[in-house]
Amino acid sequence: MLLTCLFLLLLSNSLSFRRDTTIFYSRIGINILLFCILLTYNNLYITYLDLGVGLFGGLFFTSPLILIFSLLIYIITLSILSLTGFYPRKIWFKQSLNQIVFTKLKLFISNIINKKGEQYTISEYTLILLFVIVGGVLLISSNDYISLFLSIELQSYGLYLLSTVYRNSEASTSSGLTYFLLGGLSSCFILLGIGLIYANTGTTNFDSFFMLINISNILNAEEQSSLIYTINYVPYCLLLISVGLLFKISAAPFHFWAPDVYDGIPTIVTTFVAIIAKISILILILHLVHYTNNIYLSSQYTWTSSLLVSSLLSLIIGTILGLTQFRIKRLYAYSTISHVGFLLLALSINSIESIQSFIFYLIQYSVTNLNAFILLLSIGYSLYFYINKEFNNNLTEKNNSPIQLISQLKGYCYINRMLAISLAITLFSFAGIPPFIGFFAKQMVLSSALQEGFIFLTIIAVFTSVISAVYYLFVIKTMFFDLNSYKLNTKFLNIKVPAFNIKKNKISDKQYLNTKIVLSNNLTITISVLTLIIVLFMFMPNQFLFMSNILGLVLLFPNF
């Protein structure tokens, strides 16, 4: 479905010179993803019976775990495409549905409702998103180092293009170039590790590779004199590959590109870059760790100990450096680094409980992060009617990233209380404050770490989680307790917009206040659903927890 629609979109894009087709393409992309969700859901039954299916001669592999996270990628991308598939604002009519449906409406164009940012003039946007999705889905189902590298490059090239697709933005171009150069460097590490593994073992297929490792360990354990296969260099090769993958997910100490890139590229693009790449790469790391956890660098340490070091650094750096930030997307970037530390901690432990907590943490983090970025965009759309001399003249890239500074949120609860409450709930979940979903995710990771004896890392994780609550609470304090300096733009009070005339049963022009112009349904419904998931998880935890437990058991015990 994805490949067919990519081909058709390429043809339609080459035959069209109109620049206002982005909304139409985004809606086509939404329909494509709905079909993909249906197909993937139907395939869950097949893989459950067969415990997994090999594809294309063993280059790819599909299983319930892979299909569940493919569904997650499709759903998140569908939500992100809805941001460009519909206009951000609408006129609110208080009349009945019957009066509106059977009334002849006339076309009304207003810069208030249909304000076109640059995201509505880039027809290639949906096409690049679908390329990234193809790369991400192929990456999590890779069963060979060659398919792994090709998939990760397909995904990465799409992300590089997406970061620089806003041609008129100097900040976006600069950040995209930084992302491209450092992403290329990380790909070199991955390719070097793959080349050394092939030179040492003579195979690139995961199944053959894992079999050679297990056979070599058995022969070493029995101290046989004639050792056919040696794995002396394999742990160092896996270490090189893990360095490249940690670069891609902005884990410390390879995190330094993330804050600059997140802050420079437009917020809509940041939403995609911050979530999708991490899901696919972390699932890939999960498979590598699970099947190669018994390869030792020395007599005491396995190669996955490097993930523990990265987890420790991510927890500390993401927390400490986040305290000094005054730009909201840089704050989100350091928050992401801190959460990656929790995910790597769960990965490194590699027990039943830790894998289950990893799956649950990744799902809830993706949902919460998506809500945080959509709220940031919605707040920017709602402030279009207000002026603030302190920010309006000093901020660059206002159209692409309307909210850039934490101080722009001063007193926002007096402008839109519901959006302010939703953002506060999301930040509370990030901080791990009960009873929100983020608390249960952190509790599961820390519990699995304690059970396996990682007491020092658990103490560090608890302390960093408490400290990180400081900058989350600072944002909430800014929204609810500071006074805002926004003033209503008076030019909007005299704009003629359509209003319903009951007596004449038609739409007529009259002066309309800005309070009748509200956020569109695609924003409000998405925010409402995501916020309710965060808030109401404690009342209906069974679905997420059971799914995480079953997927963890299927990964560890295929015959389960």
Give me the residue spans of the domains in the chain: 2-556
Instruction: Report how far residue 104's alpha carbon sits from residue 507's, in angstroms, rounded to the nearest whole number.
Output: 7
**Helix residue ranges per DSSP H, 224-327:** 234-248, 258-264, 267-292, 305-320
Which tens digit of pLDDT belongs to each residue from 127-169? 889 889 999 999 999 989 999 999 999 999 999 998 888 877 7
Q: How confident is the model at residue 342 (pLDDT cuts 50, 70, 90)?
A: very high
Instruction: Report how far residue 363's alpha carbon sits from residue 357's, in angstroms, rounded to the nearest whole number.
Output: 10
What is the per-residue pLDDT for 445?
93
Which of 73, 93, 86, 90 minimizes the C-alpha distance to 2? 73
Identify the three-state secondary structure at position 467.
Answer: helix
Residue 506, strand partner residues:
501
Does residue 512 register a pLDDT over 60? Answer: no
What is the per-residue pLDDT for 108?
46
Q: Which residue has the higher pLDDT, 350 or 440?
A: 440
What is the per-residue pLDDT for 170?
84
Q: How confident is the model at residue 442 (pLDDT cuts 50, 70, 90)?
A: very high
Q: Which residues of 261-287 are buried (b: 16+ CB within 10 A; e: fewer)?
A: bbbbbbbbbbbbbbbbbbbbbbbbbbb
What is the per-residue pLDDT for 75?
93
Which tens digit of pLDDT belongs to each residue from 443-501? 999 999 999 888 999 999 999 999 999 999 999 999 999 888 787 776 665 555 555 45
When the pLDDT of each residue in the chain is averaged and rounded to a whole number, the result is 81
What is the per-residue pLDDT for 106?
45
Which of 270, 311, 7, 18 minimizes the C-alpha distance to 131? 7
What CA–CA distances, in Å, run from 13 to 32, 83, 125, 166, 293?
A: 16, 20, 11, 17, 47
Q: Which residue has the higher pLDDT, 225 or 301?
A: 301
**Considering only 172-176, 302-306, 480-484, 495-499, which range has the smallest mean pLDDT?**
495-499
What is the per-residue pLDDT for 155?
93
**Considering only 74-78, 97-101, 445-449, which range has the smallest mean pLDDT?**
97-101
Which tens digit of pLDDT belongs to each residue from 344-360? 999 988 888 888 899 99
Q: How many CB atoms lie within 10 A of CB 46?
A: 13
Cis geometry, peptide bond prior to residue 88 (ω within 30 degrees of 0): no
Instruction: Report how far residue 404's alpha carbon sits from residue 396's, in angstroms, rounded to the nearest whole number.
Output: 9
**Rounded to the nearest 10 degrees, how much is the dihedral formed by the CA atoms of 252, 256, 258, 261?**
-170
Q: Which residue has the higher pLDDT, 56 or 94?
A: 56
What CA–CA distances, in Å, run from 53 to 10, 44, 519?
A: 31, 11, 44
Does residue 189 register a pLDDT over 90? Answer: yes
Identify the three-state secondary structure at position 157.
Answer: helix
- Give the strand pairing for 496-501 and 506-511: antiparallel
What is the per-residue pLDDT for 224?
43
Largest CA distance in the chain: 99
What is the per-residue pLDDT for 125?
84
Which tens digit of pLDDT belongs to each residue from 207-251? 888 777 767 666 544 444 444 445 667 888 888 999 999 999 989
What is the per-residue pLDDT for 227?
47
Q: How confident is the model at residue 112 (pLDDT cuts 50, 70, 90)?
A: low
**Considering only 10-24, 186-200, 274-288, 306-320, which range has the smallest mean pLDDT?**
10-24
Which of 165, 142, 170, 75 minimizes the C-alpha distance to 286? 142
Q: Which two tokens stand for residue 515?
A: 């309070």
Which of 280, 271, 447, 253 minimizes the C-alpha distance to 337? 253
Q: How confident is the model at residue 97 (pLDDT cuts 50, 70, 90)?
A: low
Residues in the chain: 560
Instruction: Report how far residue 538's alpha carbon sits from residue 536's, in angstroms, rounded to the nearest whole number.
Output: 5
Q: Which residue has the higher pLDDT, 518 or 407?
A: 407
Mean pLDDT of 274-287: 91
Q: How many CB atoms lie within 10 A of CB 222?
A: 7
Q: How confident is the model at residue 424 (pLDDT cuts 50, 70, 90)?
A: very high
Q: Which residue has the higher pLDDT, 23 or 560?
A: 23
Q: CA triplet 37, 365, 311: central angle to 5 degrees?
A: 125
Q: Give the DSSP letter string of 508-527.
A: EEEE--GGGEEE-HHHHHHH
What CA–CA distances, in Å, run from 359 to 72, 244, 443, 551?
A: 12, 22, 13, 8
Mean pLDDT of 192-220: 78
Identify the three-state secondary structure at position 212.
Answer: helix
Which tens digit of pLDDT belongs to each residue from 352-402? 888 889 999 999 999 999 999 999 999 988 887 787 766 666 677 777 778
Which tens digit of pLDDT belongs to each residue from 34-58? 999 998 888 877 665 556 788 888 8
Q: How confident is the model at residue 541 (pLDDT cuts 50, 70, 90)?
A: confident
Q: Which residues of 407-416 are buried (b: 16+ CB within 10 A; e: fewer)?
A: ebbbbbbebb
What is the per-residue pLDDT for 516?
65
Handedness of CA 119, 121, 127, 131 (dihedral sign): negative
Which of 527, 443, 72 minimizes the C-alpha distance to 278? 72
Q: Tokens 């985004």 — which residue?
A: 26
What is the per-residue pLDDT for 225?
43
Instruction: Report how far residue 402's alpha carbon sits from residue 337's, in angstroms, rounded to the nearest whole number.
Output: 24
What is the per-residue pLDDT for 447?
92
Secondary element (H or E) of residue 401: none
Instruction: Report how far residue 176's alpha carbon sits from residue 128's, in angstroms, rounded to the nearest whole number.
Output: 14
Secondary element (H or E) of residue 408: none
Q: Which two tokens stand for residue 213?
A: 């490792």
Q: Are the C-beta atoms of residues 190 and 152 closer than 8 Å to each other?
A: yes
What is the per-residue pLDDT for 333?
92
Residue 37 half-sphere exposure toward CB, CA atoms < 13 A: 15
